[in-house]
Chain A
Amino acid sequence: AQTVTQSQPEMSVQEAETVTLSCTYDTSESDYYLFWYKQPPSRQMILVIRQEAYKQQNATENRFSVNFQKAAKSFSLKISDSQLGDAAMYFCAYRSAHAGGTSYGKLTFGQGTILTVHP
């Protein structure tokens, strides 16, 4: 079974600064997807960024980028130019890419990291 670990229960950053959230995962599969979801106080789960394991290039979405290290099974999220609206709980998630498996489509989440942004 796959596991996802976020070792930082809480992080804080000053507005306009950069912060990196850590995530490690364990899997025996070679094809999979990794995601970062944001959960603001409204509780809505919002997809921030996704990474396909077969792609060596790190995904970027505006101020959000990832550092994907497949051999190390590490998937960190970097938020640049942090804004007050970035304050939220961030979840790292794993999804198998093997069609037909019993875990296909299901997301396995880490425990989350609460990000505080200071003005």
Chain B
Amino acid sequence: DSGVTQTPKHLITATGQRVTLRCSPRSGDLSVYWYQQSLDQGLQFLIQYYNGEERAKGNILERFSAQQFPDLHSELNLSSLELGDSALYFCASSEGGATEAFFGQGTRLTVV
């Protein structure tokens, strides 16, 4: 158990819908990262938050947004969903940018 909790584990939704993925980092970790794993794109970095502020942005679509709350949990919002958004979404956390990142078990999103 990495200590990073992601909910839900599985999500099935229709095209055009909006979903929210939630991540609780390990106790004490200030950094949260979101990654997308799909068959054609592999593991891609989406976005990083550090202590509530956006720290780095990767290949995140405009339809996607994230935030980190004062209690340090984070949410990834995906809207106007398309079939191609079906993927495994991972959250990872670390104390800062210089330490190991520990991954949650991921949320499997299926868009039908």
Contacts and interface: CB of A to CB of B under 8 A. Distances in A.
Interface of A: 37, 42-47, 50, 91, 97, 99, 102-112
A7 B45 CA distance: 21
B105 to A, nearest CB: 5
Given A106-B45, A109-B43, A99 B33 contact: no
Nearest to B44: A109
Interface residues of B, number: 27
B94 A105 contact: yes
Contacts, number: 58
Interface of B: 2, 31, 33, 35, 42-43, 45, 48, 50, 55-58, 88, 90, 92, 94, 96-98, 100-103, 105-106, 108
A44 B103 contact: yes
Interface of chain B: mostly helix, strand, loop or mixed: strand
A112 B97 CA distance: 23
A108 B42 CA distance: 10
A104 B45 CA distance: 12
